[in-house]
Amino acid sequence: MTYRVLITDHPAATLDVERSVFAAAGVDMVVASTTDPAELAVLAADVDAIATCFAHVTAQVLESATRCRTVARFGVGLDNIDVARATELGMIVTNVPVYCVDEVADHTLMMVLALARRLVPFVNDTAAGAWNRSFAPTPVRLRGKTFGAIGLGSIGSALVPRMASLGMNVVGLGRRCGVTDGVTAVDSLEELLSVADVVSLHLPLNESTRHTIGGAELALMKQSAWLINTSRGGLVDTEALTAALTAGSIAGAGLDVSDPEPLPPGHPLRTSSNVLLTPHYAFSSDGSMADLSRSAAQHVVDVLGGRLPECIVNEAVLASPALRASEIVR
CATH number at residue 78: 3.40.50.720
Residue 30 belongs to domain spanning: 3-99+287-319
95 and 112 housed in the same domain: no
| Strand locations in the chain (E) | 3-7, 27-31, 49-52, 70-73, 92-94, 146-150, 169-173, 184-185, 198-201, 226-229, 252-255, 275-277
Cα–Cα distance, 219 to 249 (Å, whole number): 7
Q: Is 75 found in the same domain as 198?
A: no
Q: Are 64 and 176 found together in one domain?
A: no
Q: How far apart are CA 198 and CA 193, in angstroms?
A: 9
DSSP H or E run through 87: helix 83-88
- Domain presence at residue 282: no
218 burial type by CB count under 10 A (0-12 exposed, 13-18 middle, 19+ buried) = buried
> Is residue 10 helix, strand or coil?
coil
Task: Kindly state whether residues 119 and 45 are assigned to the same domain.
Answer: no
Active site residues: 232, 261, 280
Counting every residue, how long is the chain?
A: 330
One digit per residue, the tens of pLDDT, for the chain of length 330 reads: 789 999 999 988 899 999 999 999 999 999 999 999 999 999 999 999 999 999 999 999 999 999 999 999 999 989 999 999 999 999 999 999 999 999 999 999 999 999 999 999 999 999 999 998 887 789 999 999 999 999 999 999 999 999 999 999 999 998 777 667 899 999 999 999 999 999 999 999 999 999 999 999 999 999 999 999 999 999 999 999 999 999 999 999 999 999 999 999 999 999 998 999 999 999 999 999 999 999 999 999 999 999 999 999 999 999 999 999 988 866
Distance CA 14, CA 122 (A): 36
* Largest Cα–Cα separation, the chain: 70
Task: Report the alpha-carbon distance of residue 70 to residue 300 in Å, rounded.
Answer: 7
Q: How far apart are CA 260 and CA 60, in angstroms?
A: 22
User: Could you tell me if 232 and 261 lie in one domain?
Assistant: yes
Q: Return the pLDDT at 42.
A: 97
3-state secondary structure of 64: helix
Neighbour tally for 139: CB within 10 Å? 14
The number of C-alpha atoms within 13 Å of 211 and in the hemisphere containing its C-beta is 9
Q: Are residues 238 and 110 in the same domain?
A: yes
59 and 195 part of one domain: no
Measuring CA to CA, how many Å separate 198 from each of 180, 232, 242, 298, 328?
19, 17, 17, 38, 46
CA distance 31 to 179: 43
| Count of structural domains, the chain | 2
Query: What's 324's DSSP letter?
Result: S
Residue 281, SS3 per DSSP = coil
The pLDDT assigned to 162 comes to: 98
